[in-house]
């Protein structure tokens, strides 16, 4: 990602994935449950000051979908650690609450369990 930071390109990252290493993840409440999140997308965006856009895919009707870009941060290089991930989680929760039928509830998002040793990784309010 950083190799291309001075070029015009579009990079899409699927951020709602279960991190393989909970001890190297950000932690905050997601849908009321302590949840781990990958640090990479935020760290890359902050390091390269790359604008971040949330792109929810909404089903309009069978076979028709709408994608509406929501700017999360146009200048992430100046944001504090964890801020971008908190914005992402808030946007994701809002979409899930509006369209719960579109969220893949079976994909084991809460595979990692909270442990007190992760307290230093907590970025929630």
Q: pLDDT tens track of the chain, all 125 residues?
A: 566 667 776 667 666 667 889 999 999 999 999 999 999 889 999 998 989 999 999 999 999 999 999 999 999 999 999 999 999 999 999 999 999 998 887 777 788 899 999 999 999 88
The DSSP secondary structure of 55-100, one letter per residue, reads: --EEEEETTEEEE--EEEES-GGGSPTTHHHHHHHHHHHHHHHH-G
Question: What backbone torsions phi and psi does residue 29 show, to the nearest 5 degrees?
Answer: -75, 130
Helix (H), strand (E) at residue 113: none
Kindly report the pTM of this predicted structure: 0.86
Helix (H), strand (E) at residue 8: none
Rg of the chain in Å (alpha carbons): 15
| Cα dihedral 109, 112, 118, 119 sign | positive
Q: Determine contact, residues 76/84, Cβ cutoff 8 Å.
A: yes
């Amino acid at each position: 990602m950083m190799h291309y930071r001075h070029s015009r390109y579009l990079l899409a990252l699927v951020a709602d994935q279960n991190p393989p290493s909970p001890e190297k993840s950000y932690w905050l409440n997601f849908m009321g449950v302590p949840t781990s999140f990958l640090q990479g997308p935020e760290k890359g965006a902050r390091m390269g000051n790359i604008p971040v856009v949330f792109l929810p895919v909404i089903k309009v009707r069978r076979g028709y979908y709408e994608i509406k870009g929501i700017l999360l941060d146009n200048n992430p290089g100046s944001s504090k650690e964890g801020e971008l991930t908190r914005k992402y989680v808030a946007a994701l929760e809002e979409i899930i609450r509006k369209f719960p039928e579109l969220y893949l509830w079976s994909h084991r998002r809460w595979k990692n369990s909270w442990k007190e040793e992760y307290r230093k990784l907590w970025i929630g309010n």
